Every structure is written in structure tokens, then in C-alpha cells.
Amino acid sequence: MPSFSRLPHATQLDLLEQRTRAALSKYYGLNGAAAAMEVQQYEDNAVWRVTPPGRSSFVARLSVRDGRPAHQQRSEMRWLESLTASHTVAVPEPVTTTGGQNVAPVEVPGHDEPSTLALLHWLPGTAEPPYRQPGVAREMGRVTAHLHEHAATVPLAEFDRPVWNAETILLKGHALTDPTAQEQLSPEGAAALRKVAELITPALQEDGQNDRGRIHGDLHRENMILLPDGGIGVIDFDDCGAGHYLLDIATVLSSVHRIAQKELGAYEEFARAFLAGYAQVRPLPTDWARLLEPYLLLRDVFVLNFVTAAVLVNEAVANSWGPRRIAGIVASMQAYVEGRPYPGALTSERS
């Protein structure tokens, strides 16, 4: 069997689908061979919407590249189970195997990394909530706050997940430390990133222990769902971990700014409604107005870490949005170093 990493992207995906169908039958008692499987994405994870005959839909997530180890995925599933039980945030509920496990091993021929399958109930609704629809921004803020309130008030035993902070994302992150990533940034871009690290690290290292806890880690608009009842659900907890709540807030705001910036006033209107919705549920983090901009930058470093690594092993990222995203973030960082506000910053709120 040829090395998995050398197979074309489409061939990899076909192989992963075959292995996932077999695992659905073996571990979950589902008719994997006859299930309809609709690809949602294939980057670090391969994700499908799975609909077995006569059954409701599920999400099958096969972690195949730099995936979290099984014990960390079990922590993720325990948080999802706790959120489901709390009835405060609509999330995909994990499905256990016939043996009572919430993560199943999958062998991928020719692949030298362990692969694991998680199965969750499909969360019905509309992906990427229309941010300008009345009430949506406020609901997005409210659900973000409910997520953080659950993190602050409901303990989870042995929650073993990554820590997302200035050290792990920025100072020791792939974009700042890996030579191949530095080449992708260009010498000027790499210099801008080093200067950004110097400028924002002190703010990111401020204590604020009451503002740190379990976070989603990748709470962009595409990971939110407009539910049939008008509420907002949250999906894709694969990057959940421990960090400052402002990182989640900045991630939502950054994702909307990217699509709203061309319409005068649209982003600012969304941001204020989002923040007002958050504050209805729990207070905004301490000094949020001053710290939001550093966390917007940290979010983009998180993206740079992912993209600069992904373009080396995933042709779908390399040949589509990856290089454009790198160039856009580098340009924004260069402008920030020159003294301009960072995209998504609410300049009227800064002290």
C-alpha cells in the first residue's frame, strides 16, 4: 500500500470514506455501506454528514492528521455531553459506540498516524447565520456568553485539552518558529509577525483568571448554526481548550468583519449587538475594549499556524484559500505595525 500522505487528495478522501463506512457498522451498529455520506470538509479532519437508511443524520468526524489524541477527544465529548444536559447551548450530542465509548479507533492503510472516529447527532439549521438578520447578532453574543458561563460554573473532571495563549499560539506557534512557515510569510511578513509578538504579548499575558476557562477555540461564524426556532447553535469543538474568553469573542468578530467590512457600518452594528447580547448573560471580560485588538491579532496568528502547516500536506488548502489568507493576514499585520488599527478593532472603544 503506498504511503497515505502521497496519495492525491481525492484518493485519500475515498479511502477515508471506505474506512469510516466500515467503522460505522463495526462500532455503532449502523448500516455504513448503505448510508448516504456528504462531505462537509477535509482538512485536518475528514467530516461527513451521514444519513443511514431510515435514520436521522449524524456527523462523522475522522481525525487523520495532527488530530487530538483519543483521551483529548474524550474530554471534548464530555464537554459536549455536559452542554447537552445543561440545555443552555445547542450543540451536536455525541453518540457512543455499542461498547459505550465516544471515540473509536480506525486503521487507515499506509497512514503512520493514529486515526479516530467521533460520531455526533446532526444539529439541524442553517449554517453561517445571516449576521444582518434582526436578532441574529444578539443571539450569537448570547450563545457565546452561555458557553463561557457553563465553562465558569460547571466543572469537568480531567478536562485534558490544549491551552490557547500567547505562548502556545504566538511565541511557540508554527508561524513564528517553523522555517517553512517563515518562507510562506516572506521575510517582510515574518518580520511583521515578530514585531506583533513583541507588541501584544504583554497584554495577552495579563492575569484575568476570572476571564479564563474552557473555550471553543475556533468560534467563527461558520461554526455557528441558525436553529429552526431562531436560536443559535454551536458546532465543531475540535479546537476546544483552555484560554481567555476574549479569544472566542475575537474569533466571532473577526469572522464577521471579513464579510461585512465592505458595507459601511455593517460590522460595527453587528459587533455592538453581539457584545450587548453577551452582556445580557454574563459580564464582558475585564478590560475587553483595550484587550480586544490583541486577541484579534492572536486569532489571526492561530489561523496562520493552521494554514502554513496545512498547505504543505493538503492540496485542497494549498490550491484554494490558503495562500490568499496568509497574504491577507500578513498585510493586516504590517499595517498594524505601522500604527493602523487591526481589522475588527472597535477604535472608538479603545482607551
Residues 327 and 233 in one domain: yes
Q: Which helix (H) or strand (E) holds 229?
A: none
Among residues 149, 146, 164, which one has the least CA distance to residue 305? 164
Q: Give the tens place of pLDDT for each residue, 246-271.
A: 999 999 999 999 999 889 999 999 99
Confidence class of residue 147 from pLDDT cuts 50, 70 and 90? very high
Residues 110 and 219 in one domain: no
Provide the domain limits for residue 224: 136-349
Confidence class of residue 351 from pLDDT cuts 50, 70 and 90? very low
Beta bridge partners, 39, equal 48
pLDDT of residue 66: 67
Task: Using DSSP bridges, classify how beta strands 224-226 and 126-127 pair: parallel, antiparallel or unpaired.
Answer: antiparallel
pLDDT of residue 350: 53
Cα 205 from chain centre = 22
CA distance 280 to 260: 24
Beta bridge partners, 163, equal 242
End-to-end CA distance of the chain: 60
**Nearest-5° Cα angle at 273, 272 to 275:** 65
Looking at the 3D structure of the chain, how many domains does it have? 2
Where is the domain boundary, 123, 158, 191? 123
CATH number of the domain that 23 lies in?
A: 3.30.200.20
CA distance 257 to 94: 32
pLDDT of residue 310: 85
Instruction: Answer whether 97's CB lies under 8 Å from 105's CB.
Output: no
Residue 128: inside a domain? no
Residues 98 and 159 in one domain: no
Give percent of the chain above pLDDT 90: 87
Q: In 113-178, which ranges are continuous DSSP H helix?
A: 136-153, 174-177
At 350 the three-state DSSP class reads coil
Give percent of the chain above pLDDT 70: 98
Where is the domain boundary, 94, 123, 152? 123
- Residue 71: phi and psi, rounded to 5, are -65, -30
Residues 157 and 109 in one domain: no
Cα 103 to Cα 94, 253, 330, distances in angstroms = 9, 32, 38
Q: Give the tens place of pLDDT for each residue, 162-203.
A: 999 999 999 999 999 999 999 999 999 999 999 999 999 999
Residues 177 and 68 in one domain: no
Mean pLDDT for the chain?
Answer: 94
In sequence order, what are the residues at sequence separation of 6 or more whose Cβ sits closer than 8 angstroms to the Cβ of residue 229? none
pTM comes to: 0.95
Residues 83 and 60 in one domain: yes
Average confidence (pLDDT) over 302-322: 84
Residues 73 and 152 in one domain: no
